[in-house]
Amino acid sequence: MKQYTDQLLRNYTHIPYQIWNEHLRQIKKWGIQTHTMFEWLTYITEELGSLAKAISGYEYRNGEKQRVIDEAYQVATLAIKIAEMYITQDGVNLKGD
Ligand SMILES: [Mg+2]
């Protein structure tokens, strides 16, 4: 089976743009969300499952590479949001209400 080597974030300058676009897509779809951290953990776990499915599809069933990339960005975006919630304000929503 094909091996993949860490690319050392050499394309890092382009990643924040992809994360920002995914963030905007999520906000448009779901609005600004407030949940317990265990609910957030459930959502990122669901996305991780989707990433696993996309990887399996690509590696075993001629699935699309772009699907893997998109799902990875969805996981990454939620992970960054979780980090930000702990960094900023213990999960209080950003609207200030
Ligand atoms: Mg997904």
Mean pLDDT confidence for 58-78? 97
Question: 91 CA to middle of ligand 1, Å?
Answer: 23
What does residue 44 show for φ and ψ, rounded to 5 degrees? -70, -30
Give the whole-angstrom CA distance, residue 48 versus residue 46.
Answer: 5
Give me the DSSP letters along 6-39. --TTTTGGGHHHHHHHHHHHHHHHH-S----HHH
In this model, does residue 50 exceed pLDDT 70? yes
Q: Looking at residue 90, what is its pLDDT? A: 55
Question: 74 CA to middle of ligand 1, Å?
Answer: 6
Question: 8 CA to middle of ligand 1, Å?
Answer: 24
Question: 94 CA to middle of ligand 1, Å?
Answer: 24
Question: 3 CA to middle of ligand 1, Å?
Answer: 24
Q: Looking at residue 97, what is its pLDDT? A: 46
In this model, does residue 76 exceed pLDDT 60? yes
Span 20-40, pLDDT tens digits: 999 999 999 999 999 999 999
Question: 95 CA to middle of ligand 1, Å?
Answer: 25
Question: 71 CA to middle of ligand 1, Å?
Answer: 5
Q: Looking at residue 94, what is its pLDDT? A: 54
Give the whole-angstrom CA distance, residue 84 versus residue 79.
Answer: 9
Give me the DSSP letters along 60-83. HS---HHHHHHHHHHHHHHHHHHH
Q: Looking at residue 92, what is its pLDDT? A: 56
